Structure 1
Amino acid sequence: IKRHGALDKGKRWKLFLAAVIFALGLQLTAKAPLSASDYLHITDSGFTNLPTSVRAMGMGQAFVAIADDYGACYFNPAGLLQVTHKELGTIYTDLYGLGLLKQSFLSFIDPTTGMGAGGISWSRLSAALEPEKWNCDLYSYSYAQFLFQDKLTTSRKTFSSWGVNIKYLKETSPWGNASGYSLDAGFLTRGEKFSWGAN
């Protein structure tokens, strides 16, 4: 007996697939850069989201749930606890290959502070558009601590952690100088078969 108005499995599947394709289409059109500032991903707070880790770029936003190298300072400070040794990471990018826009990133992590894990990082975006030059520097201190760790394993495979970033942004340009502070928090839960993160 078929109920009146009920959709069969095939029609429900097609409706679901159409809704997913529609949602993805909206997502792609909403992300299209409309101006130069959109390309540089300048957020409302003035902070830029330029590449700081090649691995994180390849993983997209999924790196927030992994965050197990020097990129954790930028993407999710709670992931600093997964690093097992001191780590230095750097990246340099000549945007567009013209020598006009350059971005640098330097990060150092010390996971053995005795009271959690800590890291410092510096990111610079500079423009040499003659006769004008401007720099945007972002200094960051990151700290992470365990919320929960499985005491039966010593390999840090299952845990929950939290972390904070304290950021200082300084921008210099021919029109004036500006600076500001920011604080953000991150969380990471890692299980045997899944990992979840938020920043």
Structure 2
Amino acid sequence: MRRLLSLLLAAAAFAAPAGAVGFNDVLPDARAMGMGHAFSAIADDAYGMFYNPAGSANTPYTQAGGSLGRILSPIGTLTHASGAYVRPYEPINTATIGTGYSMIRQSNGGDMDTVLFNFAQEIKVLQLPLSKPLKVGGNFKFVNVDRGRAKGGKFGLGFDAGALARTDMGLTLGLALTDLTSDVGVPRGGLVMGAGYTWKRRVTLVGDFRVKGGLAEFYPGIEATFLQGLLRVRGGRGLSLDGVNTVAFGLGVNFSPIILDLAMSLPAGGIHRSAGGYQATFQYRFGAPSFAAQYLGRSTAKAESLRVEIDRLESQRKTLDVEARSAETNKAAAQAQLRSLEMRAREAQDEYRALLKRNDEIDYRANDKEASLRSSVKPLVLPKP
């Protein structure tokens, strides 16, 4: 596991040259930050709507969260705060609705406020050979950007759209169209393609490829689960805010229904550079069982599964015992039948030999009788003339 994390972090540090990621590209959620912001193929918490609007579909619990972070930059320090709320939409069984707010403030850079309204739903697409329903969703958003006195502020409307496909093998694929807004003075219209693979529910490998404003970047990430899901360790490539590459780390603790996530990023070129940051996220799942109850439930389910398996094996053993006894009985009957056949064969051989002997006696008597008849016959003597 340590070797895998080291390789991934090395790949994250050198995945691509530093790009001009701006303050408007910073997204909330410490969990996503710890995974290198590669979250479009997962997006399963309250903040998923910021990465893929489809991720929150069919959420079983009402969720609320808050996040606070700070990032250093050569231009100026960036601070951001956010909140998110999602809940099941009762009129549609597999639908979820939610809202989110993100506030970004960067010294000498700009300010940005975003309000999202999210709708997501699971649907079955018969034309696609998917083992699980397809998730689709969209955001309607209000965006306000203020670039300072020189450039002024702009207000705009827009939307995001996304889809998320899942398989029983642990593979997920995400696609999102982001920031389709009116002109607010920052790059618009982004494309995000993500993929994730979960191995034995313990390790999740993810990667996001993002294209926006003429900049294309790849963000790899990893999440490892320990202690039955109580602890999660993350790593990935951080945002290259204002042209400085960073490496991200993260830690999550599941005190269900409370979930705490922490993340930090460090400059890949050395800590002397003005880059890197941190973020903390708090989420609460209303109505979710406690971690102890979940652990007990999983343990009980596993014990029940093992008991069922033991009962099945015991039943199979009894069946095999019955079959073995039946086979022994059949074997004994076959052996008895074989002995009977062998005895009949010997009797038949004895009868055959007796018949041969009797035949020889008959032949001998017939020959002897014929010889005696020949000897008793006198030759006929004719009188002389």
TM range (shorter): 0.5 to 0.7
Q: Are 2:27 and 2:50, in contact at CA under 8 Å, matched by a contact in 1?
A: no
Shift of the 84–149 alpha-carbon distance from structure 1 to 2, 3 Å rule, reads farther
Q: Which residue matches 1:142? A: 118
Name the TM-score, length of structure 2 as normaliser: 0.36
Q: Which residue matches 1:28? A: 16
Instruction: Give unmatched runs, 5+ long, in structure 2.
Output: 1-11, 177-385
Q: Which residue matches 1:164? A: 138
1:86 correspondence with 2:86: no
* Per-residue deviation, 1:82: 4.6
Give every structure 1 segment of 4 or more consecutive aligned residues whose post-TM-superposition deviation is greater than 6 Å: none
Aligned AA (1:174): R
C-alpha distance in 1 between matches for 2:68 and 2:35: 19
1:107 correspondence with 2:84: yes
Matched-pair identity in %: 25
* Per-residue deviation, 1:61: 5.4
Structure whose alpha-carbon radius of gyration is higher: 2
C-alpha distance in 2 between matches for 1:190 and 1:101: 35
Q: Are 1:72 and 1:79, in contact at CA under 8 Å, matched by a contact in 2?
A: yes
Aligned AA (1:195): T
Q: Are 1:119 and 1:142, in contact at CA under 8 Å, matched by a contact in 2?
A: yes
C-alpha distance in 2 between matches for 1:198 and 1:159: 15
Q: Which residue matches 1:186? A: 162
SS at the partner of 1:68? coil
Give CA-to-partner distance per residue, 1:124-169, whole Å, 9 cap, x none. 111356xxx953101111111122189xxxxxx9221210111211
SS at the partner of 1:178? strand
* Per-residue deviation, 1:109: 0.6
Give CA-to-partner distance per residue, 1:14-69, whole Å, 9 cap, x none. xxxxxxxxxx9x9612xx14xxxx243x5xxxxx2213112112333542111110
Shift of the 81–124 alpha-carbon distance from structure 1 to 2, 3 Å rule, reads same
Name the TM-score, length of structure 1 as normaliser: 0.66
1:55 to 24, 31, 50: 31
Instruction: Give unmatched runs, 5+ long, in structure 1.
Output: 1-23, 43-47, 151-156
Which moved further from structure 2: 84-93 or 120-129? 120-129
Q: Are 1:159 and 1:191, in contact at CA under 8 Å, matched by a contact in 2?
A: no
Aligned AA (2:104): L
The higher relative CO (CA closer than 8 Å, separation ≥ 6) is in: 2
Q: Which residue matches 1:174? A: 149
C-alpha distance in 1 between matches for 2:121 and 2:63: 18
1:122 to 101, 105, 119: 101
What root-mean-square deviation, in Å, do the aligned CA atoms of Structure 1 and Structure 2 show? 3.1
SS at the partner of 2:56? helix
